[in-house]
Amino acid sequence: MVDLTHATWLPNRFGGSESKWTMEYEGKLYMVKFPDPNRSPKKTALSYMNNHYSEYLGCHIFQTLGIPAQHTFLGRGTPPNSKREKVVVACEVFCQDEPGCLIEFSKFLLHETDSEKRKKTTIEDVM
């Protein structure tokens, strides 16, 4: 597990439901996913969701099978907005020198000016 104590944290540029930060580590940019608190109404022994482990394992299983997948590693880090160290997954940004080359679908949706169509936009509409 990589110690991210001396990583450079940058403003987040990634959306989604989990807490994320952008990190520069060894000259590359990474999207770092932190575990979110468990939101399940049922009482469980886990206080955090383990999606970051699933992301790491899934990518490495695909790579083992010869299927291209993002490069990831597990690390320990403290997000800039916290004092508690957490186990995280770092996902290498595959658009290192091209800001905006990966754009979330929801951002395309917001560019649609026709308010009637806004709720019905499909991926085919923006391609």
Residues 11 and 51 occupy one common structural domain: yes
Q: What is the DSSP string of 68-89?
A: ----EEEEEE--TT-SS-EEEE
Residues 32 and 64 occupy one common structural domain: yes
Q: Quick: pLDDT tens for 49-67.
A: 678 888 899 999 999 999 9
Strands 72-77 and 2-3: parallel
Place of tokens 């944290």: 9
Residues 32 and 73 occupy one common structural domain: yes
Residues 64 and 116 occupy one common structural domain: no
Residues 88 and 117 occupy one common structural domain: no
Residues 63 and 101 occupy one common structural domain: no
Q: Hey, which residues does 20 pair with through a beta bridge?
A: 33
Q: For residue 108, is pLDDT > 80?
A: no
Residues 90 and 114 occupy one common structural domain: no
Q: Residue 83: which CATH number?
A: 3.30.200.120
* C-alpha 90, offset from chain centre: 8
Residues 53 and 76 occupy one common structural domain: yes
Number of domains in the chain: 2
Residues ≥6 apart with Cβ < 8 Å to 109:
118, 121, 126
d(CA 124, CA 4): 40
The rounded percent of the chain whose pLDDT value lies above 70 is 65
Residues 64 and 10 occupy one common structural domain: yes
Is the four-CA dihedral 52, 98, 15, 68 of positive or negative sign? negative
Domain span holding position 108 = 97-127
Residues 6 and 55 occupy one common structural domain: yes
Mean pLDDT value across the chain? 78
Q: Quick: pLDDT tens for 12-38.
A: 777 776 788 889 999 999 999 888 766
Indicate the pTM of the whole model. Answer: 0.71
Residues 77 and 46 occupy one common structural domain: yes
Q: How many CB atoms lie within 10 A of CB 7?
A: 19
